[in-house]
Amino acid sequence: MQLQIRHANQQFITLEVISRDNCRWLFSAVYGSPQEHTRYEMWSTLEEFAHHNDQPWLLAGDYNDTRLMAECRNCSEDLNRRCANFHHWIENNGFIDLEFSGT
């Protein structure tokens, strides 16, 4: 297996994974900034990358956001807005949330 860095910044790194049989796919390891405006910059960069990518792509990590209010302990109007924004970003880009449970 070979790994080649395709894109890297402070919030994520995207690798191209090439198997022995030359099967290629992308993997992005994500750690979203706790600062909302910086996190939105990451979303924009990933969105742009998605529009120019035709390979299978797995994004995984800590986005520092949640998609559903049910995943939150303390609900607030701001958190409701953030959940809706994250949900729309996932939907608008055709991403599939595989969901995760636990710590």
DSSP code, position 33: -
Q: Which domain holds residue 77?
A: 2-92
Per the domain annotation, does 84 fall within a domain? yes
Is 79 domain-assigned? yes
Per-residue pLDDT at 67: 77
- Write down the pLDDT at residue 57: 96
pLDDT at 66: 80
Q: Please indicate, yes or no, if residue 54 is contained in any of the structural domains.
A: yes
Specify the pLDDT at position 98.
85
- Structurally, the chain folds into a number of domains equal to 1
Per-residue pLDDT at 38: 95
Q: Is residue 36 within a helix (H) or strand (E), and if so which, with residue range?
A: helix 36-51
Sign of CA dihedral 44, 46, 47, 51: positive
Query: Could you say which DSSP state residue 55 is in?
Result: S
The answer to whether residue 100 is domain-embedded is: no
How does pLDDT run along the chain (103 residues), one tens digit per residue? 999 999 999 999 999 999 999 999 999 999 999 999 999 999 999 999 999 999 999 999 999 888 766 666 666 677 788 888 999 999 999 998 887 766 6
CATH of residue 68: 3.60.10.10
Residue 46: inside a domain, yes or no? yes
Residue 101 lies in a domain: no
In a domain, 98, yes or no: no
Whether residue 13 contacts residue 7, with contact meaning beta carbons closer than 8 Å, is answered with yes
Identify the pLDDT of residue 79: 79
- What is this structure's pTM? 0.83
Tokens of 35: 């600062």
Q: Is residue 22 part of a domain?
A: yes
